[in-house]
Amino acid sequence: MIAHEKKLNNLFLYWLSISLVLVFLIIIVGGLTRLTNSGLSITQWELFKGILPPLNNSTWERYFNLYKEIPQYKLLNNNMSLVEFKIIFYWEYFHRILARFIGLFFIIPLCFFYMSNKINKKYLRICNLVFFLILLQGIVGWYMVKSGLIDDITVSHYRLSLHLIIAFTIISIIFWLIINIIEKTLKKFFTFSQKNLFFLSLIIIIYIQIILGAFVSGLDAGKIYQTWPMMGYTYFPKDITIKTFVDFYNFNNHSLVQFYHRNLAYLITIYILTISYYIFKNNLKKLYSPIKIVLFFLLLQIILGIFTLISGLNIFLASAHQISSVLMVLSVINLYYFAAK
C-alpha cells in the first residue's frame, strides 16, 4: 500500500514536470508566432473544427481567403502567395494544437489523481487553479487575436501582455509546486514579511518587465532605436514629448516603451547585485547556489537583449532572449523559495 502511494506521488511529480516543460515549450512557440507575424493567419477560433490542418487545396484557399479579408493582409502582406501563407499558418496552427494538448494533458491526469485519493489535497487545489488559468489562457488568446482582425495589422499589445503574463503565471505556479513536492512542504508564494519582501519584490519587478517586454514586442518598438547604450545619440529619446504627467504613462508610444524596458532592466540588474551582496555579506550559504544561477541568467539575458537590439531584431536572438527570460523568472522564484520564511 505504501509502495503504491509512493509510486502515485512520483507519478504526480513526473506529470507536473512534463506539464512545466510543455508550458515552457508553448511560450517559445508563442514567441516565435509573434516574431514571424503569424498570429493572425487563422482568423477563426475553431476550438474543435481546427484540430486537423487543411488537407486539400480548396480548404487552403478558404483559409487564405479569410486571411485576405483582414487589415494585415490588405496593408502589409497583399503580395503574399499561398505558399508563404502556409508558413505563417502552420506557426499559429502548431501554437493552437499545443495549447489544446496541454489542456487535455493537464485535465485527464488531474481527474485520475483526484480519484486516487492519495495526493495531498492542497497540491490538487493548486492544480485546479492552474487548470482554470489554462482555460482562461485559451479565452484570452482568442480575445487577443480578435484585436487584430478589424482595425489593425497586429494584435493589441495590451492583450498580448495579458496573454504572456498568464503563461508566466502558470509556469511559475507549477514550478513552485514542484519545489514544494520535492522539499516535502507547502510554502505559500505570497507570504508578506519584512524578510520575504526583499526577494518577493524582485519577482514583482521582473513580472512588470515581462509586461513591458510584451509591449515592446506588440508595438515592434525594438525597431525604433537599435543602438546601445544610447537611444540614437541621447540617453532619453529625442522624439518623446512630455507635456503633462499623463504623458509618462503613454504606453502606445514606441520610443517611451522601449526606454522603460531598457531602464527597468538596469534597475533589475542593480537590485540583483544588491541581493547578491546581501547574501554573501551575511554568509547565507543555502542561497549561494540559487543566487549564482540567477546571476548567470541575468548576464545571459543582458547579453541577449543587447545583441537582439543591435542585430536588427534577429529572430533567433529575439527568441533566445525570450527563452532566457523564462529561465530568469524560474531562477528568481527558486531563490525566493529558499529565502522565504
The pLDDT tens digits for 301-310 are 999 999 999 9
On the question of pLDDT at 1 being above 60, the answer is no
Number of domains in the chain: 2
- For residue 26, pLDDT beyond 90: yes
Domain boundary among 186, 215, 237: 186
Same domain, yes or no: 175 and 229: no
Residue 16: per-residue pLDDT: 96
Last residue in a domain, options 141, 166, 186: 186
Q: Are residues 285 and 138 part of one domain?
A: no
Both 24 and 171 in one domain: the answer is: yes
Same domain, 220 and 252: yes
Q: What is the distance, to the nearest Å, from the Cα of residue 340 to the centroid of all Cα atoms in its chain?
A: 24
pLDDT at 45: 84
258, 225 contact by CB (below 8 A)? yes
Is residue 160 domain-shared with residue 231, that is, in the same domain?
no
Q: pLDDT (tens digit, 9 = 90+) per residue, 185-224?
A: 888 887 777 778 889 999 999 999 999 999 999 999 988 8
- Specify whether 141 is located in the same domain as 276: no
Domain that holds residue 318: 188-341
- Closest alpha carbon to 222 in 264, 267, 255, 195: 255
- By C-alpha distance, which of 304, 315, 233 is closest to 265? 304
Residue that is last in its domain, among 165, 186, 207: 186
Q: Are residues 193 and 182 in the same domain?
A: no
pLDDT of residue 4: 62
Read off the pLDDT band of 298 (50, 70, 90): very high
* Mean pLDDT of the 96-110 span: 95
If asked whether residues 124 and 266 sit together in one domain, one would say no
Kindly report the backbone phi and psi dihedral angles of residue 234, in degrees, each rounded to the nearest multiple of 5, phi listed first: -135, 160
pLDDT for the residue numbered 214: 94
pLDDT the model gives residue 152 = 83
Q: Are residues 155 and 258 in the same domain?
A: no
Q: What is the pLDDT of residue 2?
A: 65
- 331/319 same-domain check: yes
133 and 240 assigned to the same domain? no
Q: State residue 3's pLDDT score.
A: 66
- Report the number of secondary-structure helices (H) and strands (E) in the chain: 10, 0
Mean pLDDT, rounded, for 10-20: 95
Q: Let me know whether 143 and 268 are in one domain.
A: no
